Structure 1
């Protein structure tokens, strides 16, 4: 179960949780639980892409970081992040 999700994450460099669920025929809850387990075991690590608090200086990827308003950041209603497979996760794959 864990290895199936980890393999998909390794093969598909950018994939949504909904796509993982579709590929495996699982519910989103099951995929979310599996991802949480993989994170707790140190196989994957969350990497923030954009923060919803960006307008408060939480993002260094746009003009907000310099204290000016950014229309892009004002449109963000939730944090965006990706998962990165750690060295431990890569070892588990091979």
Structure 2
């Protein structure tokens, strides 16, 4: 199966003067202590519970969170309970 392209695509479209880093939890753990201005989380339905845990922890720390992917697109009213914004239909 191919790697998801949503976050790399968004990173490529981000202006060059803005630093972007992507974390794949299959490769390395999420660093909740890293100083960030915004966190974007993409998820499918089977990963939604973990995505919500990650989003909730960053929000608890005062970080703005955006959720996207098939699950938030299909259930935006559920996803928004864990995020500051939801991207639908990416």
TM-score by length of 2: 0.28
Q: Report which structure shows greater RCO (CA 8 Å, sep ≥6).
A: 1
Larger radius of gyration, structure 1 or 2? 1
